[in-house]
Structure 1
């Protein structure tokens, strides 16, 4: 993802992510992000910055064809070990190994702020999405991403009670989401 941050200890990061992923607010946010994709059963959904792969596995459990993308080979190894029935590939958010208009949904959770060129990543999302496909960005400051690729924002909000530990937060990066839709 051309990130600006790298974890000094990947095992410690995975352990922390596991704790956070099990908070009720985190589970609700993942569920809401998948719901916002509004994709039909069997649709291909790409999860950029998939980390250890929990969201990809949850999408597969619900009948979608999830594909996890990450630059960190260590995280991908963990994801493949934990979720062997799911697909995971190493790739940069600005250079996805996908054909034009080949996915119905694009999801990124807490990763766009770490991408060196978020506009390039969003342009790439536009390339791989089918017309009418949706992009759901979670925990992002979407002012980082200029809407120069012909998208329209269709929603934004917060999941109640999704602050860390289930404690509601008035302005929480953990709970913010944005949903965008491509023109037909």
Structure 2
């Protein structure tokens, strides 16, 4: 049900990623031969400017209430938010972006800036007032899957691009 949820928030020109709801864990019971008295479902909601933490909590709570209606006589479930970061996108003209793009060009990499996410470490750092980029790195396959891997031969150029970007930023 959560996987099929309509997030109702379309991408925009300034934030081209829609929110995403993903079940990341299910836990319950003490043994294979004991019927569990409780179950915990971990849900990761990646927000956007149009769908913030309040929207996420309301949306998940509504889905949980719908499941509860199918089990009359059982205690109601609860939704407990654990952590929330605001949606974040670094301005395309930010000097960090310019330095990294120039470093990539200087080492012969063709990169196209885009919004990574809808959530990444940039969200956490932005909440602390720190500009951050995400997504530029080694060539990869199977992102966030059990078969995730990088092409080791792509690391040298990426490291060189970051090195040049840092040198440009230090020169001011």
TM bin (shorter chain): under 0.3
Specify which structure has the bigger relative contact order, considering alpha-carbon pairs within 8 angstroms and separated by 6 or more residues.
Answer: 1
- TM-score of the superposed pair, with normalisation by structure 1: 0.23
Structure number with higher strand proportion = 1
